[in-house]
């Protein structure tokens, strides 16, 4: 049976060929980057707040991994606790070991790329979590030994609710591939988490697209977790990853009240560095004239009380 292939809105897709990868490699070799500078790290996390189920909060573990406490529900996004992504070494330490987490109720997966779906991390999460995953990924998790009754597949705009929290899978502009023959055989997207008191949007991995404006018309967002890294070279990355200026515009499009930048500085998956991405983000924020109080730049291991 032929597998379903998923597409972006408006049919946008990456058309890169081998020659483009060669061009990127040659370009990378010609660049001089200061890799000794890293983003901020909180070496003494606020475990009292992290383990307080009565207080809504979010904690940045690194890359696209957040621990979210919302209305008593404990959620983790794209869990990645590893020091290596392929041959790429983690730039900053894991300041919150996976065994020090509270018990996890729900795991949200944005898509199947290895830096967002790390099987060993899923296996070691405390508790007996439910896995909410994009359409097309269930077979992979079952093959890896996860119980079918703990897996829920969702497509864009489908939702799941528990403890008066509604989780909705929403569009992103990206792609997915884990092996030689599985390109785009599973969906990709972001997640909106809504309680009576809070709403959060976790963008996952995405290029800049009209979907942010569309989401504003459907959902009211308090906190937007938006990627700002893995954008260089821009000619290669622009369809799949936002540069910092795009991320700021996405925040404006969303009509959100507060932004937390993510997906930068943890792994060097493209040519940009974490400090470079953050510097461009701060400059773009200033140029747009947005109130400084509407953003929180968390250190690795930092917690924001909502």
Domains, the chain, ordered by start: 39-305 (3.60.15.10)
Give yes or no for a contact between 287 and 281, defined as CB atoms under 8 angstroms apart: no
By residue count, the chain amounts to: 306
For the segment 198-223, the average pLDDT, to the nearest whole number, is 98
Statement: residue 2 has pLDDT above 90:
no
Q: What percent of the chain has pLDDT over 70?
A: 99
Residue of 182 and 160 predicted with greater confidence: 160
User: In sequence order, what DSSP letters do the residues of 193-204 get, joined into one string?
Assistant: EE-SS-EEEE--
Share of the chain above pLDDT 90, in %: 88
Report the chain's mean pLDDT, rounded to a whole number. Answer: 96
pLDDT at 1: 60
Span of 17-21, 77-81, 113-117, 283-287 with lowest mean pLDDT = 17-21
Q: Would you say 5 and 184 are in contact if contact means Cβ atoms under 8 Å apart? A: yes
pLDDT surpassing 70 at residue 145? yes
Q: Is a pLDDT exceeding 90 seen at residue 220?
A: yes
Q: Which residues pair with 73 in a beta bridge?
A: 70
List, as one string, the DSSP characters of 24-60. HHHHHHT----TT----B-SS--HHHHT-TTS-EEEE
Backbone conformation region of residue 230, classed left if phi is above 0, alpha if psi is from -120 to 50, else beta: left
Mean pLDDT, residues 148-169 taken together? 97
Overall average pLDDT of the 271-287 stretch: 98
């Amino acid at each position: 049976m032929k597998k379903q292939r998923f597409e972006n809105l408006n049919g946008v897709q990456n058309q890169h060929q081998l020659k483009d990868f060669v061009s990127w490699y040659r370009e990378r070799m010609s660049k001089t980057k200061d890799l000794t500078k890293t983003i901020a790290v909180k070496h003494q996390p606020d475990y009292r707040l992290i383990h307080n189920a009565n207080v809504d909060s979010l904690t940045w573990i690194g890359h696209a991994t957040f621990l979210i406490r919302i209305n008593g529900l404990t959620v983790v996004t794209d869990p990645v606790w590893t020091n290596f992504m392929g041959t790429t070494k983690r730039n900053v330490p894991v300041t919150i070991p996976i065994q020090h987490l509270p018990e996890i109720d729900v795991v949200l997966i944005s898509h199947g790329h290895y830096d967002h779906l790390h099987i060993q991390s899923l296996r070691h999460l405390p508790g007996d979590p439910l896995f909410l995953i994009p359409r097309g990924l269930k077979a992979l998790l079952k093959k890896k030994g996860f119980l079918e009754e703990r897996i829920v597949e969702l497509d864009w705009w489908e939702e799941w609710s528990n403890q008066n929290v509604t989780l909705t899978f929403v569009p992103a502009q990206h792609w997915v591939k884990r092996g030689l023959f599985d390109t785009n055989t599973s969906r990709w997207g972001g997640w909106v988490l809504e309680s009576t008191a809070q709403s959060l949007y976790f963008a996952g991995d995405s290029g800049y697209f009209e979907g942010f404006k569309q989401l504003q018309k459907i959902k009211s967002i308090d906190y937007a977790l938006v990627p700002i890294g893995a954008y260089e070279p821009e000619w290669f990355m622009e369809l799949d990853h936002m540069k910092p200026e795009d991320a700021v515009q996405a925040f404006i499009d969303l009509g959100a009240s507060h932004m937390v930048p993510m997906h930068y500085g943890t792994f060097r998956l493209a040519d940009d560095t974490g400090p470079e991405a953050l510097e461009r983000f701060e400059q773009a924020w200033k140029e747009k004239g947005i109130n400084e109080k509407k953003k929180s730049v968390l250190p690795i291991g930092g917690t924001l009380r909502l």
